[in-house]
Amino acid sequence: MPPRRLGATLAATVTTVAAVLSAAPAAHADSLEYVALGDSYSAASGVQPSDPDASPLCLRSSLNYPHVIAAETGASLTDVTCGAAETRHFTAAQYPGVPPQVDALGADTDVVTMTIGGNDSGVFISAILACGSAGILALGQGSPCHDIYGSYFEDTIRDTTYPALVSALEAVRDKAPAADVAILGYPWILPATTGCFDKMPVADGDVPYLRGLQATLNDAVGRAAEATGVTYVDMSEASEGHDACQAPDVRWIEPVLQGSNPVVVHPNAQGEAAMAGEAMDALGLS
């Protein structure tokens, strides 16, 4: 090859390599800055493998729906989800070394997702466990939980959990004003009417009672989202027929007994993947 042509070829090669190298940081800079907040339904507590970057106290899985979303979209993920989190842990430390969740947010945050509210005031998961205990004592008959608690749980959600949700979402908005924020509803835990005693040790008459309680919680989540301009990801339709009473290859929620998750009444990997899909669709990330 003549020297002049060889020089031109080398110059072109150097220019191409330089362009590739300079483009790599730009591509990284353009990736979505995604922050995942929330409780055990967002952390996928009990699903293996565990997230090595998480505090052991948070029981966070590397297969939780935020990790699925990040893998599907190429987003840069900051995951601060933590099992047992309440709305107050958005602005206050949950454990030593586990700071307030909104500390992970900033002006450059592009996307935020979460589930939150189910642990507030001991409702939802605590109610299901309380009703399970009552169901066992009643051998699955009657409606002992409804008889004991009546409207207590639903009243607490409307009077206490709802305003706490609004405050939590406002705190997220204040810290990440430019972000697309989504809060997911909780997937159905029980069928609408007929349960599955003893996999879910809830008395027959308390199945619709607990289903109504979950509907009340999801309604509060949706209303809080509307009040603060946040996207509500309604899991009700998608999760119908995937409750804890279904077969292992169908259910998204693991039951109290005969399940695969040591953290009972929580999503399995299938459920987390489904939550990721619904969240991506709602945020236009699919």
Q: Catalytic residue positions? A: 40, 266
- 184: nearest Cα among 272, 73, 251, 67: 272
- Residues 6+ away with beta carbon under 8 Å from 200: 132, 189, 190, 244, 245, 255, 256, 257, 265
CA dist., res. 97 & res. 78, Å (int): 16
Angle at 129 between CA 255 and CA 82, to 5 degrees: 80
Contact criterion met (CB below 8 Å) for 242 and 251: yes
User: Phi and psi for 155 in degrees, rounded to 5?
Assistant: -60, -40
CA dist., res. 116 & res. 81, Å (int): 10
CA dist., res. 211 & res. 184, Å (int): 17
CA dist., res. 217 & res. 41, Å (int): 14
Position 271: which residue type?
Answer: G
